[in-house]
Structure 1
Amino acid sequence: MSDWSQGYPTDSAYIDAIQVEINPWRWQQSMLFSGRACPSPRAPFRFLELGCGSAMTLIALACSYPQAKFTGYDFMPEHIVTANRLIREIGLTNIEVREGAFAEMIAEGPGEKYDFAAAHGVWSWVPPEVRSDIVTVLNGWLGTGAVTYFGYNAAAGWAAAGPIRQIFRRVPRGRGERPFAAARAAVDLWLEQMGDMAPQAAVLWQKLKDAPDHFLAHEIGSEFGTGIWMEDLAEPLGEAKMTYAGPAVLAEHMDALFLEDEGVEMLRRAVDEGWGETARDLLHRRTFRNDLYHRGAPTVSGTTMLEKMRALRLIAWDEALNIGTHPSVFDQLKRGVDERVLLGFQELCAGDGAPFGACMEAVDAPPMAAFQAVMTALVSGGLMDLRPKADVEAAQETCDRFNAAMMARLRRGGHVPGFAAPGYGGCVQFSRPEQRAVLLGETEDEIFHARLEKLGVRVR
C-alpha cells in the first residue's frame, strides 16, 4: 500500500456514484423540521465537498444551481482527472475540483467561507488523525450558520460485519480484476460452518457479495472502515462548533410511519431518557445515516416552518418509479395516508401542481391533522415537491448538458450513476434495466417520460 494512503484503499478508484441525499433544496426542508434556518438554496451560495471522488454528485449540483459556486477535494489523482474531464465536456464554470488531502486544505485556507459542505462515506473509512483534520477544515472553512451533511455507515446495521471485515483484511489479496476472490470464498466457508449461528452476518453478506471488488475494497476491505454511532461523530464535530440538526432526509423525521406501535413507544421512552438516536438506529436497523449538522444556524418557529411548507409546489407522484426521489422510504412504510385522501391530493396536484397549503385546505380535518396528512403523502411518495419554476428554468440548460453526457455514456454501454433533475434540485438514479431500456428508446413508456419531464430531465 502506498505511503500517502493513510490506510485508505488507493489501488483502485471508488465507483462513479451519485448521492441523491446530497441536495440543498431538500436539506432546507429538513432543517425547518429541526427548527433551524438554512442558507437559502435559491440565493448565491458556496458549497464544499470533502472526499468528492469523481465528483458526479457535485457536478450535477453545479448544473442544478448555476448561481452557486462548488468546490470539491479528493486526494486520489484518478478521481480528479475523471471529474475534470466531465466538467470540460459539459462546459461548467461554477465548479472546481482539486487534488489534496485534508491536511493540505488546513494549510491552504478557504479564501471565502462556505455555506454548505458535504462528506459522504469519508468519516467511516479514515483513521482518527484524518477525522481530526476534517474537523479542523470545517472549523476554518465554514461560515456562521453553515450546514454540513455527513453520510456514513451506521454501527447498528454494520455490527455483524466485524468478522467479514477481518476476513477481507487478513486473507491475502490476489491479482487481476478479482483480488478478493479468496476472501469471498473464505466468508462463504465461514458462514457455511456457522449455519444458523450468524444470521445477521449472513443477511449482510447476501447484500454485499454481488458487489464488485473495487466497491468492497472501500466498504469492508479498508483498514479503518467501521460503523459509526451518531454520538461518536457529534462529539468531535463539537470542536468545530457544529451541532447535530437532524436527518437530511425529510421522511426520517417521521418515525411513526416506519415503526410498529411498540417501536414508537420504545423510541418515545428512549428520547425522554436521552438515548433517542441510538434507539432510532436500532429500531430502524440502519446501515447508513444521512445527517445534517449546523454551525450556529438561527432557530425558526413552528409558524415559520408551516408557512414555508405551505408554499411548496406539489405534483402527483408514484414512488414505485424508485429513482431516488424519496430515499429511505420505498417499501418500508408501516402507515400511510388513506387511499381516498391520497387520490384527492393527486387529482388536485395534477398538471402543474398545487400548493401544499391548498392540499391542506382540501382535507376535512383540523389544521394539524391536515398538515400531517399532506406530509405523509409527500414523504411516502404519493406527492413530490418541485422547486420554483424560475429556479428550474435557470438550471435547465446546464442540466440538459449533464444529462446529454450521461446519455452518451449510456449509448456506449458505459456506467451511468444518475441524471441531474432541475425540478428536484439534485440527482436522480436509474438502476433498473427496464428504465435504461426506455431511456435508450428500446421500449416505450410514455408515463415514465412524462414523470421525467416533470422533474426537468429531458433525455429525448
Structure 2
Amino acid sequence: MANWSAGYVVDVEYTHGFYQELTPSLLGFLALLQGVQTPDLSSSSLTYCELGCGQGFSTNLLAAANPHIQFHATDFNPGHIVGAQTLAQAAALTNVRFYDDSFAEFLTRGDLPDFDFITLHGIYSWISPENRRTIVEFIRRKLKPGGLVYISYNCMPGWVSMLPLRRLLVEHTAARGAQLSPQSRASTFLDMADRFGKLDMRYFANHPKLASRLDKLKNHHPNYIIHEYFNQESNPFYFMDLAEELAEAKLTWVGPANALDSLDEINLTKEQREFLSGIDSVALRQMTRDHMIDQQFRRDIFVKGPVRLAAHQVREKWLDMRFALSARGARIPRELRGMRHAVKLQSGIYDPLIAALGSGPRTLREIVADPALGAIGINRLIQALTILVALGVCHPCLPEPGVLERKLHTDRFNRAVADESRFERKFGYFASPVTGGGLAAERMNQLMWLSLSEKNPDMAGFVGKVLSEAGQRLLKEGKPLQGEAHEAELRQRVADFEQNILGIWTSLGLGAPSPAKSVEQRRLRA
C-alpha cells in the first residue's frame, strides 16, 4: 500500500453515494429546530468545504443545486478527484474546486477562503489521531464565527461488539491473500463471518446482535465493506470524547443532523427522558442517551459561537421556510417508527397538510393561511413537518428567488448524470433547484427524464433503444425479459413514472429542461 495513504484504503474506490445530511437547507432546518441561527442561505457570498469527499458526487450535486455557494472539497485519493472533476466539467459547474491534498497539505494552502460550512461524512472514524488533530486545527482556522460543522462517525457503545470481530475478520482475510480483489476481500470477510457464526463461538453467543448486523452487510457494495472495515484506523468515539476534541476548534454541539433523532418521544421511554432531563452536562447527557439506544453511528451539528434566537425570531424564520414533498400523498406512510414507539399520523393534521404541499412547495406562512391548517397551530404544524422530514418524504427548501437560475445548473448536472445511465447504473440521485439537495432517481427513471429532455414522446421506445445499444435487458425475478414481455415491462414502468414520479419531479424543479435562452430571459425579467 502507498506510503501517502497513512493506513487508509486507497486501492479501492469509494461508492458514488449522495448523503442528504450534507445539504445546507436541511442543516439550516435542523439547527432551527434547536433555535440556533445559521448562515443565511439567501446570501450570495457563502462558502462550503467537504473534507474527505470521496468520489465528490455529493459536493458536485450540491454545487449544481446551490450555484450561489462556492464549494471546495478534498480527498487525497487522486482517482476520486479525477472522477469528481470529470463530472464537474461534464455538468459545466463553475462554483466547485477539488483538491487531492492530504489534510496536512490542505491546512497549509493559502488560496482557500474562510468557510460558512465544513462537513465530514464518516471520515473522522477512519483516520489517525494526527490527522484528526489536523482537521480540528483546520476548522479552528478556517470556519467563520457562526459557521456550521456537520460530522458523522462510528460511535460507542454500538460498535463495542463489532470492533474485536472486525480485527479477527480482517486478519483472516489478509491471511488468505493480500492481493485479493475488492469483491474477493469483501466476500472472504463475509464468508469468514458466516463460518465463525457456525462454530458455536461463545463470542457470538455473548453478542446476539452480531448475526443480524453481519447479515445486513451482505446487501452493501463490496467497496463500502472495504472502506468501512479494512482501514488501518478504526476509532468509534464516545460522544464526550469527540465533543472535547472539537471544542479545541471553538465548536459547540447544537443537535443531531437527523430529524428522526430529534424526536425523543418515539426513541426513548418516559423514564429515560426524565432521567436525561436531570443531567446538566450536554456531553454526558448525549453519551448516556447513546447507551440507552445502543448508538453505533452519529450525525451531529456543531457551530462556532452559536447564537440562540429569541422566540419571535424563531417564529418568523419558521414562517418563511418553504417545504416540498418528494412523494405522492397516497404513497406517504401514515406511521413513523422510532427506537421505542411508533407514532401514527393523525389524518386531521396530515391529510390537509399533505394536500397543501401536494400542489407544490409552500412556506409555513402560506400553510397557516389556510383556515383549516391555521387552526392546528404553528407548533403542531412544525412537529408534523419534522415527522414528514424524518420519513424522508418532505424537504426544507431554498428561498424561491433564484430558482430559475438554479434550474439552469441542475438541468446540466442532471443531464450529465443521466448520460452516464445510458451505459450503467452509476449515480442514483438528481439535483433539485427547489430543495438545494438531492432526489433519489433510479436508472430507468433517469432515462425516461432523458427522453423528455430530448423531446422524445416515446419514452418506452427511447429507453428500450438505450438498453439495446448497451447490450442490456430489463430483469424480472432475476431473469432478462425478451420480446413482448420486455416491451410490456417497459410500458408498465413508463406508466408508473408518469403517474407517480413525473409530477413530483416537476414540482421539485426536475421537469423537462427549458430552453436556456427562454429561462434566462424570464430570470432577467424577474
Q: Is the counterpart of residue 12 in structure 1 residue 12 in structure 2?
A: yes
Alpha-carbon offset, residue 169 of structure 1: 2.7
Give the secondary structure class of the aligned counterpart of 1:70: strand
8 Å CA contact 2:25–2:397 kept in 1: the answer is: no
Instruction: Tell me the number of residue pairs that the alignment of Structure 1 and Structure 2 aligns.
Output: 455
Alpha-carbon offset, residue 121 of structure 1: 0.9
1:455 to 497, 508, 515: 508
Give the equivalent residue in structure 2 for 1:424: 435
Moved more, 268-277 or 394-403: 268-277
Moved more, 387-396 or 419-428: 387-396
Q: 1:273 to 1:62 in 2, by over 3 A?
A: closer
Give the equivalent residue in structure 1 for 2:358: 350
For 1:317 and 1:382, how far apart are their aligned partners in 2? 5
8 Å CA contact 1:260–1:334 kept in 2: the answer is: no
8 Å CA contact 2:259–2:389 kept in 1: the answer is: no
Look up the equivalent residue of 2:19 and give its one-letter code: Q
Q: 1:298 to 1:272 in 2, by over 3 A?
A: closer
For 1:229 and 1:458, how far apart are their aligned partners in 2? 45
Look up the equivalent residue of 2:87 and give its one-letter code: L
Look up the equivalent residue of 1:204 and give its one-letter code: R
- Select the structure with the greater relative contact order (CA < 8 A; seq sep ≥ 6): 1
Give the structure-1-normalised TM-score: 0.89
Give the equivalent residue in structure 1 for 2:264: 255
Alpha-carbon offset, residue 439 of structure 1: 6.1
Give the structure-2-normalised TM-score: 0.79
8 Å CA contact 1:316–1:347 kept in 2: the answer is: no
Give the equivalent residue in structure 1 for 2:164: 163
Please provide the CA RMSD for this pair: 3.0
Q: 1:371 to 1:149 in 2, by over 3 A?
A: closer
Alpha-carbon offset, residue 381 of structure 1: 5.3
Give the equivalent residue in structure 1 for 2:486: none
8 Å CA contact 1:26–1:249 kept in 2: the answer is: no
Q: 1:301 to 1:337 in 2, by over 3 A?
A: farther
Q: 1:91 to 1:109 in 2, by over 3 A?
A: same
Q: 1:299 to 1:109 in 2, by over 3 A?
A: farther
Aligned ranges for residues 181-200 of structure 1 at < 5 Å? 181-193=187-199, 194=201, 196-200=205-209
Give the secondary structure class of the aligned counterpart of 1:134: helix
Q: 1:6 to 1:313 in 2, by over 3 A?
A: same
For 1:112 and 1:355, how far apart are their aligned partners in 2? 33
8 Å CA contact 1:150–1:290 kept in 2: the answer is: yes
For 1:278 and 1:156, how far apart are their aligned partners in 2? 9
The answer for unaligned runs of 5 or more in structure 2 is 451-458, 460-489, 514-526
Give the secondary structure class of the aligned counterpart of 1:37: coil
Give the secondary structure class of the aligned counterpart of 2:254: strand
Give the equivalent residue in structure 1 for 2:105: 104
Q: 1:385 to 1:51 in 2, by over 3 A?
A: closer
Moved more, 179-188 or 87-96: 179-188
For 1:450 and 1:257, how far apart are their aligned partners in 2? 32
Q: 1:438 to 1:59 in 2, by over 3 A?
A: same
Aligned ranges for residues 368-383 of structure 1 at < 5 Å? 368-369=379-380, 371-377=382-388, 379-380=390-391, 383=394
Q: 1:7 to 1:384 in 2, by over 3 A?
A: closer
For 1:305 and 1:410, how far apart are their aligned partners in 2? 43
Q: 1:425 to 1:251 in 2, by over 3 A?
A: farther
8 Å CA contact 1:169–1:221 kept in 2: the answer is: yes
Look up the equivalent residue of 1:83 and give its one-letter code: A
For 1:251 and 1:80, how far apart are their aligned partners in 2? 33
Alpha-carbon offset, residue 340 of structure 1: 2.3
Q: Is the counterpart of residue 297 in structure 1 residue 298 in structure 2?
A: no
Alpha-carbon offset, residue 32 of structure 1: 1.9
Larger radius of gyration: 2
For 1:140 and 1:154, how far apart are their aligned partners in 2? 26
Give the secondary structure class of the aligned counterpart of 2:358: coil
Q: 1:322 to 1:119 in 2, by over 3 A?
A: farther
Alpha-carbon offset, residue 284 of structure 1: 3.8
1:216 to 202, 214, 225: 225
8 Å CA contact 1:313–1:353 kept in 2: the answer is: yes
Give the secondary structure class of the aligned counterpart of 1:389: coil
Give the equivalent residue in structure 1 for 2:155: 154
The answer for unaligned runs of 5 or more in structure 1 is none
Alpha-carbon offset, residue 283 of structure 1: 3.6
Alpha-carbon offset, residue 218 of structure 1: 1.1
Identity %: 25
Give the secondary structure class of the aligned counterpart of 1:246: strand
Deviations 1:45-72 (A, max 9, x none): 1111111112101011111111121111
Look up the equivalent residue of 1:153 and give its one-letter code: N
For 2:382 and 2:12, how far apart are their aligned partners in 1? 48
For 1:42 and 1:284, how far apart are their aligned partners in 2? 37
8 Å CA contact 2:185–2:226 kept in 1: the answer is: no
8 Å CA contact 2:190–2:214 kept in 1: the answer is: no
Give the equivalent residue in structure 2 for 1:203: 212
Aligned ranges for residues 51-450 of structure 1 at < 5 Å? 51-171=52-172, 172=174, 174=177, 175-176=180-181, 177-193=183-199, 194=201, 196-269=205-278, 275-315=284-324, 318=327, 331-332=337-338, 334-360=342-368, 362-364=373-375, 368-369=379-380, 371-377=382-388, 379-380=390-391, 383-430=394-441, 442=490, 443=493, 444-445=495-496, 446-450=499-503
